[in-house]
Chains A and B, each alone.
Chain A
Amino acid sequence: MKLSGNRLAQTIANAYTVVFRGTPELLVLLIVYFGAAVTLTAIAQSFDASIKFIDVPPFWAGAFAIALIVGAYMTETFRGAFLGVDPGLVEAARALGLSKFQTFVYVRIPQMWRLALPNFGNHMLSLMKDTALISVIGVEEIVFVAEMATTVTLKPFTMYIVVALIYLCITSVITLAVMALEKYANKHLAASR
């Protein structure tokens, strides 16, 4: 949206990034979870007044909130990467008779992808860490399970350290995967050297 010439679309996209970069992830999550519950209840009540309250499945509220946050960061990354593509290449593609859509798919996206990868990897890592927040609204993920286990075993330190180690493993795997992808994306550069 940020790339389109339409001014309204640009303004909306800008507002979206500003809002989500400035608000704490925890707050977004709470707004989505509790807000959705209130809204859905109001909508349901307008159809059927006997409904008292609708509970939103916390998993979907959490997934939606995190998707919103990541979307905001990713637009910035991809925008930067699109701007990084050499305009000469795009012009050349157009001169060769490729349609606008073809240029986008065959020229701009492959180029942009290579530039966006390092940042994309970073966002995957922070996304991974944001998932820990979902335990606050009661989804049974690692942190939540650790909390449960703590009440049984009375060994909070052991439990949370294990959680930390699991996260450390996952983030290491993501880091390695992104490194491998980067190597793959840049293999034509390595060969020419």
Chain B
Amino acid sequence: MTFDVGLVFGSIPKMLVGLGLTLELLFLSSFIGLALALVTLLMRISGRWFLVTPAVVYIYIFRGTPILVQIFVIYYGLPQFEFIREGMLWPLLREPFWCCILALSLNAGAYVSEILRGGVLGVDKGLLEAASALGISKTHRFIYITSPIAIRLSLPAYSNDIISMTKATALASTVTLLDMTGVARTLVAQTFAPYEIFISVALIYIAMAWMIQKGFGMAEKRMSRHLKPTAG
């Protein structure tokens, strides 16, 4: 058994095409997921039961089931119903790409809203009391005091979530999408050289995770720069 380096270099162009799809999945679904998470967060902390209950149920369901099952329910499951096949969303739901985006965003929404809630709960109560003593309205308190601090507090957990999102995009290959893992699987089926191809793909994923970690590390440093003791 040999490790064929030439094969690795030969398959790089094909993998880069897959990388494009992986990044597309990652950015689109983390963006939609963040928007969903914000809505869910506001519902969750609103304190009104008819808003809190749906948010809690949504979070519970999407955090309690595997992403693979969610993707399968949406991609294979939804076409079972007549009204979806006739409905206006069918052109989108027919495509595995949009099914994956939908599943990943819904999943990210559930996880990120919990992360953000942790951040909001971590904001010092004294600050809010001080603000209300100064006569700042509830909405303004949330926008100008809670949000900046909550964002800073939830950044580390959020970066972890983005890394797991990157890894979750690999699941898109199970519904015939040719993302990086999908491309690798076809290549392996053709060449039967699993080590060369899968390991080089794994290295790309690791590099992506590393970059995300560094990027968020820098953002974190910048956001907490006021906390550093000023020298001189």
Contacts and interface: CB of A to CB of B under 8 A. Distances in A.
Given A22-B205, A27-B170, A172-B64, A160 B185 contact: no
B1 A168 contact: no
Contacts of B192: 38
Interface in A104-140: 125, 128-133, 135-136
A61 B203 CA distance: 21
Interface string B166-179: 11111101100000
B164 to A, nearest CB: 9
A156 B63 CA distance: 21
Interface string A54-81: 0000000000000000000000000000
B66 A130 contact: yes
B64 to A, nearest CB: 4
A151 to B, nearest CB: 11
B105 interface: no
A26 B205 contact: no
B66 A132 contact: yes
Nearest to B80: A157
B87 to A, nearest CB: 15
A19 interface: yes
A161 interface: yes
A112 to B, nearest CB: 22
B92 to A, nearest CB: 17
Interface stretch (A29-37, A87-95, A184-192): A29-37
Interface string A134-170: 0110000001001100100011111111011001100
Nearest to A53: B192
Given A22-B205, A42-B1, A132 B68 contact: yes
A183 interface: no
Nearest to B174: A136
Interface in B154-188: 163, 166-171, 173-174, 181, 184-185, 188
A158 B209 CA distance: 36
7 contacts: A26-B171, A26-B174, A31-B194, A38-B193, A39-B1, A156-B76, A168-B64
Interface of B: 1, 60-61, 63-70, 72-73, 76-81, 163, 166-171, 173-174, 181, 184-185, 188, 192-195, 198-199, 201-202, 205-210
Given A22-B208, A35-B198, A38-B192, 15 more contacts: A22-B210, A23-B206, A24-B169, A27-B181, A30-B184, A34-B194, A38-B193, A128-B66, A133-B171, A136-B68, A156-B80, A158-B80, A159-B77, A160-B73, A171-B64
